[in-house]
Amino acid sequence: MNTGKKVVVIGGGIGGLGTAALLSKRGYDVTLVEKNETLGGRANIFSEQGFTFDMGPSWYLMPDVFEHFYNLVGEDINEHLDIVRLSPSYRVFFPGDKDIPVLDMESDIEKDLPTLEKLEPGVTAKMRKYLARSEKQYNIAINHFMHRNYNSPWDFLKWEIAKEGRSMNPLQTMERYLNSWFKDERLKKILEYTLVFLGSAPSKTPALYNVMNHVDFGMGVFYPRGGIYTIIESMKKMNEKFGTTIRTSSPVKKIVVENKMATGVALANGEIIPADYVVSNADMWFTETRMLEPQHQTFPEKYWEKSTMAPTAFIMYLGLNGTVPNLTHHNLRFCKDWKQNFVEIFDKPQLPNDPSYYVCKPTHTDKNIAPEGQDILFVLVPLPYEINPSDEEKENYRNKVISMMKKDLDLPGLENMISYERSYWGDDFSKDYNAYKGNALGGQAHTLKQTLLRPKNFSKKVKNLFYAGAGTNPGIGVPTSLISSQLAYKRIEGIKHPHPLTNLDG
């Protein structure tokens, strides 16, 4: 099928690559332009001294979403990716807890229940009931909400949506919801940590996101050998196979608008690429306030000034001259004062005094991404997006986190093991990805208001201009960005049903 229509996709992140692949497979003439030298957006990659680092996302969750996408475009995911299930899924550290300082989670309820019983004796029946409800809500979300294009806030009052939505606990926070089920604070931390992926705090996040607990306990945690960037490489190959023209090192200066209609893009070098449709996978703030003139902006600067963005992050990429066997693939260090940590990130912005942080050791699963006998560590500390630390503050905080890791994770010789180190901060997110105030996750935090009123994936001021990625529906995350590409595809194809696509016809 050849539609004869031209599409320009701005940005080569997951959402942009997904949109381009769907439209090219359908028969559109698609050009994807990316400002950086490499594709992937925040899912970027770099190599130094024999170490290969995934720069951003490191968790492979919601495997059903990936399988669905590959099936849509007629591809076998197993021919593209070598996916392994992690065991354990992750290791949790509770520094200072004399009873249970460390525990492993398997994402297998039969294996995990004895562990959870140690945290809260007698919890088995409640946990089974809780996860059964979480699974039911996940299926409702996938089939009725996440693949639905919304046109206005009034859509949520329609009977079909309201009827399904009542069972999703939309007006209750995760904090209150979990308090009604469980008592042990350590157990609740395990059930809340996935909210960091959504860029929000338990006291601000709608309870409907308890569906992430089904993703964790019911579906498992996976890893594509070679790293998350193999997904980007796979999607690049698919796009080339389907006929997408991919142009890297091609920053867009503006979206060309004629008679209130998008007619193409102007590159920074002055070149005009004409199009019948434009889909932007660039950060929404940058698209709206930098690529469009004021009269064409649906979301002007004042809109973003009132928004709560997802946190930024301090990241360390560490190459070690040896191995650290007491760490598994994913490791989570939970601070003692959970609420105070979120206050310091969202309410009183500052470098957290006692942060929770995450350490990924991908060499636990994949020995081919580092020299033999050496480990890679990816260390991420969530930070408030509103701060701008000085170079001295950055250095001091780096030393603080290293000291914490030495003690919390039993890595006393860590400092002397570091043979390669690179740090990454909020200003790097701004420079590399045009991120608003350096936010790390590409969009607004999933608070109640911002979940219901998330920026829609079409421009109200410019016809044939659409959006994909973490800044629009259904929200932050790699799988959700992949779903956003299908929502943009539905807009262009005029497909109105709210369910997952079964084929490219709808």
Which tens digits make up the pLDDT trace of 432-461?
Answer: 999 999 999 999 999 888 887 889 999 999
If you average pLDDT over residues 353-364, what whole number do you get?
A: 97
Q: Are strands 330-333 and 90-93 parallel, antiparallel or unpaired?
A: parallel
If you average pLDDT over residues 81-96, what whole number do you get?
A: 97
Structure confidence at residue 167 (pLDDT): 61
**Top-confidence range, 8-12, 159-163, 164-168, 384-388:** 8-12
pLDDT band at 151 (very low <50, low <70, confident <90, very high): confident
pLDDT band at 195 (very low <50, low <70, confident <90, very high): confident
If you average pLDDT over residues 133-143, what whole number do you get?
A: 92
Q: Which has more pLDDT, 457 or 200?
A: 457
* pLDDT higher than threshold 50 for residue 159: no
| DSSP character at residue 444 | B
pTM here is 0.95
Mean pLDDT of the chain: 94
pLDDT band at 168 (very low <50, low <70, confident <90, very high): low
Q: Are strands 277-280 and 465-467 parallel, antiparallel or unpaired?
A: parallel
pLDDT digits (tens, 9 = 90+) for 423-434: 999 999 999 999
If you average pLDDT over residues 164-177, what whole number do you get?
A: 75
If you average pLDDT over residues 61-86, what whole number do you get?
A: 98
* Residue positions counted in the chain: 506
pLDDT band at 165 (very low <50, low <70, confident <90, very high): low
Q: In the chain, pLDDT over 70 holds for what percent of residues?
A: 96
> Is residue 478 classed as helix, strand or coil in its secondary structure?
helix
Structure confidence at residue 161 (pLDDT): 56
pLDDT band at 47 (very low <50, low <70, confident <90, very high): very high
* pLDDT higher than threshold 70 for residue 341: yes
* pLDDT higher than threshold 90 for residue 326: yes
Structure confidence at residue 232 (pLDDT): 98
If you average pLDDT over residues 367-372, what whole number do you get?
A: 97
pLDDT band at 163 (very low <50, low <70, confident <90, very high): low
Beta strands in 201-260 (DSSP E): 222-224, 245-247, 252-258
Structure confidence at residue 226 (pLDDT): 97
Q: How many CA atoms lie within 13 A of 396 on its CB side?
A: 8
Q: How many CA atoms lie within 13 A of 212 on its CB side?
A: 24
Structure confidence at residue 162 (pLDDT): 55
Q: In the chain, pLDDT over 90 holds for what percent of residues?
A: 88
pLDDT band at 197 (very low <50, low <70, confident <90, very high): confident
Return all residues near 19 (Cβ < 8 A) that are at least 6 apart.
9, 279, 281, 468, 484, 485, 488, 489
C-alpha distance across the termini of the chain, in Å: 15
Residue 187 CA to residue 275 CA, distance in Å, equals: 52
Q: Which two tokens stand for residue 418?
A: 């570091």
pLDDT digits (tens, 9 = 90+) for 215-231: 999 999 999 999 999 99
Residue 143 CA to residue 139 CA, distance in Å, equals: 6
Structure confidence at residue 196 (pLDDT): 79
* pLDDT higher than threshold 90 for residue 386: no
* pLDDT higher than threshold 60 for residue 489: yes
Q: Which has more pLDDT, 236 or 169?
A: 236
> Is residue 483 classed as helix, strand or coil in its secondary structure?
helix
Cis peptide before 412 (omega within 30 of 0): no
Structure confidence at residue 199 (pLDDT): 87
